[in-house]
């Protein structure tokens, strides 16, 4: 670990190797029997810190702390809750640079993306502040005379947040800030691969809570493995569990929460495609494709994995991509000259190489990339060369989501509806895009017969959503919605109220029941 990285950890209040961090708001003072996990950077495989993993007793303590804090937090007027979130956003602004560097060092995305992730947290804080004054209900006209009807929203209680390694802090903020202004308290279980950024955020939030004389349990952190996520999913004291990760993981969470008639908000796998029609602006399409395919080393749920190209443009698109890929600078993501950082760990590297082998066994043709990089500049890291494969959409491996920089080129013939049919012929349904200058094609893609994804873009890539729109997908992606628009409603319970201000008691539907 470099001296500069040590300074980042010091700024964020995180001690380096051989220090331990416990659950909740407490740090240090672990018992000799506590289970710990060493956190290694995917950049150079060097140790950053060791983290205490939560026990069942720790989990109970955090839940009890959250329940207690909820009684205070829910009684604050929503605009006052928004003021606390505003202060959190300002505090994140103060720590943006070191926190962005920690995101990069712990997760492996390039520094510009690390800064962008912190900016997403800041942006959702700003959004949530405005939302705190707009938790609207509706009034309705009653069929009964001198009656008034309206509905209103109340907080649920504890919101459980299970986040993934690829966006170690932003997705937490999407959930936590909207949940907080809605009057909920949160219990956050980050990925065990990236807990240090979570600890840093928890420390920042703790400063704001202390400055406002608020209880610690409004925002809670618990670091643990899958067993902690499972406890949360089965826990009736947690009415909503928001989980981000693989479809396999999401099914387990959804089944557990559903069995107790709780609520789940699932953001799961994506198998995202860009359609390039014969009318596409290739300058725009190529730029969007490359960023979507290799950004975050292909470890975004919105990464571009399939490229559906009209036969009239196929050869040109392929040639241009094969010219660009060798120029991609791969290496230490803290070096701002590099565009592609490492995969998260050796398991991810193995999945990358295995997927390429399966694609070729099914008949795919590897055009470029696929090497595992070592030697000068790659020591200790998990670096690979992004790959392009000519393939068919029906290949089993193409139907899967491989969390790695593999782009499948697929040729289509005929009109845009043929492309859309191929596009939709996967089990996932998160993000989608079409590049065309033809209005009819653009409208077809956004029509009832168009993309079946939760996100559908025209002349914009699949990756890089703004926080103002609701984020989420359909089919095996889970159906949840986070971040902007009216996503706040997921964190609240709805109540319909009827007030009779007459001296009579008429029944609805004209029913007579005289006694």
Smallest Cα–Cα separation from 268: which of 40, 30, 37, 477? 477
Q: Degrees (nearest 5) of the Cα angle 131, 136, 141?
A: 170
Beta strand pairing status for 431-435 and 272-276? Answer: parallel
Q: Is 150 buried (19+), middle (13-18) or exposed (0-12) by CB count in 10 A? A: middle
Backbone angles phi, psi at 205, to 5 degrees: -65, -40
**Active-site option among 301, 401, 453, 482:** 301
Q: Taking the CB of residue 74, how many other CB atoms lie within 10 A of it?
A: 17
What is the Rg, in whole angstroms, of the alpha carbon atoms belonging to the chain? Answer: 25
Asked if 267 contacts 478 with a C-beta cutoff of 8 angstroms, the reply is yes
201 is catalytic: no
Q: Helix (H, G, I), strand (E, B), or coil: what is residue 142?
A: coil
Q: Helix (H, G, I), strand (E, B), or coil: what is residue 241?
A: strand
Residue that is written with structure tokens 């593999």 in the block: 406
Distance CA 476, CA 463 (A): 18
**Active-site option among 113, 267, 401, 441:** 267
Is the C-alpha dihedral spanning 223, 227, 233, 235 positive or negative? negative
Is the C-alpha dihedral spanning 410, 413, 417, 422 positive or negative? negative
- Chain centroid to CA 15: 27
267 is catalytic: yes
Beta strand pairing status for 158-162 and 185-189? Answer: parallel
56-60 long-range contacts (CB < 8 A, ≥24 apart) are 56/231, 58/22, 58/23, 58/24, 58/222, 58/224, 59/23, 59/222, 59/224, 59/228, 59/231, 59/232
Distance CA 436, CA 432 (A): 13
> Catalytic residues, which ones?
267, 301
């Amino acid at each position: 670990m470099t001296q500069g990285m040590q300074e980042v950890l010091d700024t964020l209040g995180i001690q380096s190797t051989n220090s331990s961090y416990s659950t909740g708001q407490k740090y240090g003072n672990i018992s000799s029997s506590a289970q710990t996990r060493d956190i290694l950077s995917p950049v150079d495989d060097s140790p950053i810190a060791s983290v205490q993993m939560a026990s069942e007793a720790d989990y109970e303590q955090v839940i009890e702390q959250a329940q207690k804090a909820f009684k205070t937090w829910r009684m604050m007027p929503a605009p006052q809750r928004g003021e606390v979130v505003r202060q959190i956003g300002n505090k994140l602004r103060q720590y943006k640079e070191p926190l962005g560097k920690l995101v990069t060092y712990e997760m492996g995305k390039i520094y510009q993306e690390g800064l962008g992730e912190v900016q997403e947290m800041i942006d959702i804080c700003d959004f949530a502040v405005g939302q705190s004054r707009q938790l609207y209900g509706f009034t309705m006209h009653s069929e009964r005379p001198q009656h008034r009807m309206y509905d209103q929203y109340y907080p649920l209680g504890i919101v459980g947040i299970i986040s993934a390694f690829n966006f170690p802090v932003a997705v937490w903020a999407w959930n936590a800030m909207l949940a907080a202004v809605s009057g909920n308290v949160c219990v956050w279980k980050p990925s065990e691969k990236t807990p240090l950024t979570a600890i840093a955020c928890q420390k920042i939030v703790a400063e704001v809570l202390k400055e406002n004389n608020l209880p610690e349990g409004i925002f809670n952190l618990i670091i643990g493995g899958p067993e902690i996520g499972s406890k949360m999913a089965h826990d009736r004291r947690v009415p909503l569990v928001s989980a981000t990760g693989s479809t396999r993981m999401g099914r387990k969470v959804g089944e557990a929460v559903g069995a107790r008639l709780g609520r789940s908000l699932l953001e799961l796998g994506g198998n995202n495609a860009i359609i390039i029609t014969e009318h596409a602006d290739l300058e725009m399409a190529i730029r969007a494709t490359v960023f979507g395919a290799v950004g975050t080393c292909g470890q975004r749920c919105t990464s571009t994995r399939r490229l559906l190209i009209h036969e009239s443009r196929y050869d040109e698109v392929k040639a241009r991509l094969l010219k660009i890929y060798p120029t991609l600078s791969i290496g230490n993501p803290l070096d701002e000259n590099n565009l592609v950082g490492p995969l998260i760990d050796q398991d991810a590297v193995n999945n990358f190489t295995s997927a390429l082998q399966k694609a070729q066994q099914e008949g795919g043709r590897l055009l470029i990339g696929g090497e595992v990089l070592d030697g000068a500049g790659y020591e200790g890291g998990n670096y690979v060369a992004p790959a392009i494969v000519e393939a068919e959409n029906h290949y089993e491996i193409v139907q899967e989501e491989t969390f790695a920089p593999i782009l499948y080129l697929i040729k289509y013939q005929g009109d845009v509806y043929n492309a859309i049919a191929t596009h939709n012929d996967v089990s996932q349904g998160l993000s989608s895009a079409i590049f065309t200058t033809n209005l009819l094609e653009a409208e077809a893609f956004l029509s009832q017969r168009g993309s079946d994804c939760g996100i559908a873009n025209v002349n914009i890539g699949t990756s890089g959503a703004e926080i103002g729109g609701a984020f989420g997908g359909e089919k095996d992606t889970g159906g949840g919605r986070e971040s902007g628009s009216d996503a706040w409603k997921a964190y609240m319970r709805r109540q319909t109220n009827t007030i009779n201000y007459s001296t009579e008691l008429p029944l609805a539907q004209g029913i007579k029941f005289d006694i």
